[in-house]
Every structure is written in C-alpha cells, then in structure tokens.
Amino acid sequence: MHPTRAVAWELGGSWPILDLGHPERGEGGGVERVLVSACLLGQRVRYDGEGFEPGDLLLRWQGEGRTLALCPEQAGGLAVPRPPAEIEGGQGGSVLAGDTRVITRSGADLSDAFIRGAEAALALCRREGVRMAVLKARSPSCGNRESYDGSFTGVRVSGQGVTAALLMREGVRVFNEQELEDAERYLQGLESLSG
C-alpha cells in the first residue's frame, strides 16, 4: 500500500493525506517533515474548490520530501466544495473546549467536523514526528494569527483556527504562508539541533 494511503487508513478512514514529496526520504532518513495545508500546495480542497499555486520554498520542500499535505476540513469529513464557515468569536481554542461553534452562514454547526480534522492533523504530526506546520492564514481550521469572527462580514479578530489551536497547544510550531522566511529559519534551527 502507498505510504500515504497507509497513514490515512491507520488514522481511521479514507480521507486524503497527500504526501507530495518523496516518502522514501522522509521515513527514517532524517529529513525534518513539515505539515502543510493541502490548498497551499495547489490541491483544490478549499471550501470553494480552489487551491493556491505553491511558492518556491514550498516547491523546494516538496522536492526534498519534507511536505505532508493535509486539509483538516476534508480530513474531518467535509466535502469539496462546501459552504464557507467561520468561528463564532474567532477562537479555535474555544471550539476545542466546547464553548463556541464553527458555523456556516445559514447557522449549520460544523464544529465536530473541524475538531475531527484537527485531531487527524495532530495524529499525523505525532506519527511522523512533525514539529512544525505551514497552514493557511485566516482559515477557520488553519489560521495561526487571525480568524474571521463568525459574522460573515469580513471582520477579522486575533486568534487561531481549530487545527492551528490544537497543534500549537501540543507544541507544533505553526506558521502561515505569509511567514515562510520565518518558517525556513525555524526549520534550519530544528535541523541544526537534530544534526
């Protein structure tokens, strides 16, 4: 079985984990792995069915076998495309604590799916020894610094998405696509400590 399918199966389902690097180099070969939002690697998994063109650094990391791509919302069981969602109050940690919800504009509660996706991301990080992630800014799953406030009016608040909050709580350093220079320096620091 292909290594990424094996990981998906072990973590409880057929949801896609897209290892877009060279899996043979990441398995015990000393390459520091990085969890990356699948949409940032060009995968069409965003709520609107789109993805983003990966920049040079992410493409290099792919070529080096570093990237483990995951869409937490898809991993949590949500379809592509799907209705946009926001966190009431913009705090992913509050969703994890059961104090607030992730909702769609029509009021549908997607909190359970977002929590399942966050747990899948954490399980993957633990299994693969991942210590850092590059996640999509301002996403209700992946935002590491800001999120939308749940009013669907474009208002941003300081806070994390559900996955980012869980990973950060568990010691995974989370960057967004606007912090790639910092992410690269952090990766170099991890490798110098490990080497």
Predicted pLDDT of residue 155: 97
| Region of residue 77 (phi > 0: left; psi between -120 and 50: alpha; otherwise: beta) | left
List the beta strands (DSSP E) in 42-181.
67-70, 85-87, 102-104, 132-135, 146-148, 156-158, 173-176
The answer to whether residue 93 sits within a structural domain is: no
pTM of the model: 0.86
- On whether the CB atoms of residues 119 and 170 are closer than 8 A, the answer is no
The answer to whether residue 31 sits within a structural domain is: yes
Instruction: Please list the rounded mean pLDDT of every run of 10 residues in the chain (195 residues).
Output: 32 38 44 97 97 97 97 98 97 98 98 98 98 98 97 97 98 98 96 83
The answer to whether residue 69 sits within a structural domain is: yes
The answer to whether residue 98 sits within a structural domain is: no
Domain that holds residue 121: 3-82+117-137+160-194
Q: How many domains in the chain?
A: 1
Predicted pLDDT of residue 26: 39
Predicted pLDDT of residue 15: 36
Q: Going by C-beta distance under 8 Å and a sequence separation of 6 or more, which residues neighbour residue 153?
A: none
The answer to whether residue 169 sits within a structural domain is: yes
The CA distance from 104 to 94, in Å, is 17
The answer to whether residue 187 sits within a structural domain is: yes
The answer to whether residue 54 sits within a structural domain is: yes
Predicted pLDDT of residue 17: 40
The answer to whether residue 149 sits within a structural domain is: no
- On whether the CB atoms of residues 3 and 23 are closer than 8 A, the answer is yes
